[in-house]
Structure 1
Amino acid sequence: MKIGERIEAEMKRRDWSEGELARRAGIPQPTVHRIIKGESKSPRQENIQAIAKAFGCSIEWLWSGVGKAPLGSQGTESNNAADKVRQMLEKHGRGLPAEARQQILQAVEEAASPEQEAANSTNVITADFSRPGPVGDEIRIAHYDVRAALGGGQVVPDYPEMMPDLRVSKKHLQELGVTYNDASHLKILTGFGQSMAPTIQHLDPMIVDVSIRDFQGDGIYAFSWQQHFYVKRLQVADAEHFEMISDNPNHKDRLIRMDETYIQARVLLIWNAKKA
């Protein structure tokens, strides 16, 4: 497995998009995309280090699958203390007598026994942080910690979460005309700016489908372009360009190159909140 495949598999396990990994790693989303797809033949060390930090693993694991794996993943690193000491002795302890090496291993194995671990865990406080399950046909839509720019573009990592996850019934979404293949792909983004008014107002939440990563006809998409994140209408202008369209006539439309545009999701519903 190559580094890009390993990163993509870990993202899938965590249900992270490229934009989410980029936000957590603090690097541009197009950079993440190029590393995953193998377009970056020699990724910069600081970018790989940032991704490893976001996953909580070692750089070695990203490159080879050996070393400190992300918590909960099926990494090849042994978490058994005795195995780690055994590996260390095989590498650095060749000068020790065989008897001494055996005594060290025995002591570590005894310390790592289930009985000893139970004796050492009496002061551990456990808590259940799981969320309540869905009720009826209810689904939970995660709110992404991302500001979707309706104007001049936003750098994703700088925006704090504004609202909790949304719980809504599938029937209600169907009544609103929202169609999707997998509810786990539905996420919430928050609009920022006025360039898509009146369709999308400032701070309007939007339900998007993050499984849509390619252009699927005219519509409103969340995408990155030139290292900024936008929510705009996209239309095909010619074989090499999209037309990025603002619904607000006071904002100019522009042509953007297809090969520099990375679609992250398609907007399915704008959840407008109107004052009574």
Structure 2
Amino acid sequence: MKITDRLDVLVQARKPDIDIRRIKRDIADACGLSYEAVRRWYSGNTENLRNDNLIAIARKYDTTIDWLLTGTGAPPRRDSASVNIQTWITTAQARFSKLETPITVDAIQAVLEELRGATSQQNDAVGCKEISVPYYNFDQLPSSAPRPVDYSETISSLTLNEAFLQERAAAYSNAEQLAIVILWDNSMADTLNDRDAVIVDCGVSAFNGDGLYLINWAGHLFIRRLQLAGQDQLELIADNPTHNPRTVPMADVEVRGRVLVGLGIRRL
């Protein structure tokens, strides 16, 4: 079974009512990628199906990366694989040593259910972790990429629950590498609009697959959708159709971070 076959099985297992023609679009939305990028996976070009995409898919559709890579049959839930084996052995030995009657299947099942409940509580606690995200530090930029003239720090910091990013399948390198950037133009409309806030993973310093990036190119900062355009070339795409895409040498693009989540700010 190819990985794309497993993707079909996974999406249909989690969304039984989905039209099979919508699967690629659903995966693209889950990973924050273009439909064209996912279509290329199905055409046999899976080299851009990188770790961050696998993590995003596993979180969005509640399964394991191992199954995505090598699994067969129905996709498992993440919780079903989350019991720590050593903890299970230690706890089981303690429970079973107190039994005066022979160990039964029911006794084993009772211990397993107890351990799964404890693991679920631990996972919930992890999901409640708060992350303080500061504004992007423009002082770290080289003089060749100054702060945009129209930049406005309408948000200086933001505290997020870790679950907020997990629910949006936003895999990131390190919480300490996250930063807030306020858009300064409409070049990415209607994906992102002027004065929207985005969370950027500054731990990403190179192109690692199709997606949105904060980049330094030609002495200016941009937020652009990057796609591999050929050997050592990137396509810089502004989602606003009034801006033309550009194909440039990969070496000319300095990646300052990958955009994880957009936070639309609207006047009510």
TM-score scaled by length of structure 1: 0.45
- Indicate the structure (1 or 2) with the bigger Cα radius of gyration: 1
